[in-house]
Structures are given as C-alpha cells and as structure tokens.
Amino acid sequence: MRTLAIIKPDAVRKNVVGKIVSQITESGFTVLGMKMIRISRQQAEAFYAVHRERPFFGELTEFMSSGPIVPIALEKDNAVTDFRGLIGATNPAEAAEGTIRKLYASSLGENAVHGSDSEDNGRLEVAFFFAEAELADNLS
Ligand code: ADP
Ligand code: MG
C-alpha cells in the first residue's frame, strides 16, 4: 500500500529533513520517490481542496506555498494507518511522545508533516506529486 508524506515548509526551514527521512525509513517504510519542490498557492489550494470551506484554508495554503516542501511517496503494508501513527496527532500539543509532530512541529498549522488519510487518498496524493514512471517500483 502507498501513502504520501510531505515534509512541510516549517520542517524544511528547521533543517530536519534528514532526521525525518531517517525516522520514516527506520520505521519500515520504503521510499518510492522523493523531491524538494516549491508549490504555488494555486497548487496548494488544489492539493487541499477538500478543506476549501474550512476557516484555516487561507492560512494553510499560504503556509504550504511559503517555501520548499519535500513530498515523499512511501510503500509499506498498512502504510496509511502506520504513517498516521508515526506522525502523531494534527495538533502537536496532543501528539504522542516520539512522534514526528511531537518532535518537530511548531504549531497546529505548522505541524512539520502531512500524511494521507485513506488508501484511496494515498494513491491520489502520490499521483498529485509523482508520475508513475518516476517511482522506484516502476524503474527497471
Ligand atoms: P491532518 O494533517 O492531521 O490530516 P487535517 O487534514 O485536519 O489534519 O488538516 C490539514 C492541515 O491543515 C493540518 O495538518 C494543519 O497543517 C492544518 N490545520 C488543521 N486544522 C487547523 C486549524 N484549526 N488551524 C490552523 N491550521 C489547521
Ligand atoms: Mg488530513
């Protein structure tokens, strides 16, 4: 099963990309694809379209387009649930000890990492950032 991780601009600015990638791979995830990019406000709005009516949509899309991000296509049995466990609660104040958000998030909005919330969204979100041909399990 696939899931999409994104190391968000706050964590890139804190220079903890390497530490987060290490924690992800040490937790049994295989990296199929990874890149550092900057997305436009419009791309952030498209990625988070499900949240467009929420009061934090403007803040979220401004933040996600404020600097480089690192989308990572991950593979693992039970990837979606296991990755949500690894990152912890949305609000770092409520995230369990040792989770990526507990360790690196700054606030509820600037919370270091994204993780897909369902198997379908994992597939769709990986496809938002990666062409199928550039993922490691499609290279020969
Ligand atoms: P998650 O990322 O844990 O799946 P959501 O899908 O509910 O959480 O929200 C998407 C992102 O929007 C969060 O990771 C966070 O960056 C931001 N966000 C969520 N709720 C708030 C809020 N109340 N205020 C500001 N930002 C928020
Ligand atoms: Mg979500």
d(CA 72, CA 126): 8
CATH superfamily, domain at 2-132: Nucleoside diphosphate kinase-like domain (3.30.70.141)
Kindly calculate the radius of gyration of the chain based on its CA atoms and give it in whole angstroms: 14
Residue with tokens 């009061």: 55
Q: Catalytic site residue 114?
A: yes
Q: Kindly report the CA angle at 120 between 119 and 125, in degrees rounded to 5?
A: 100
pLDDT tens-place values along the chain, 140 residues long? 999 999 999 999 999 999 999 999 999 999 999 999 999 999 999 999 999 999 999 999 999 999 999 999 999 999 999 999 999 999 999 999 999 999 999 999 999 999 999 999 999 999 999 999 999 988 76
Could you give phi then psi for residue 19, rounded to 5 degrees? -60, -40
Domain ranges of the chain: 2-132
Ligand 2 ion: Cβ-proximal residues, 5 Å cutoff: 117
Percent of the chain as helix, strand, coil, to the nearest 5: 50, 15, 35
Q: pTM (2 decimals)?
A: 0.97
Give residues (CB < 6 A) around ligand 1.
Answer: 51, 56, 59-60, 90, 108-109, 111, 114, 117
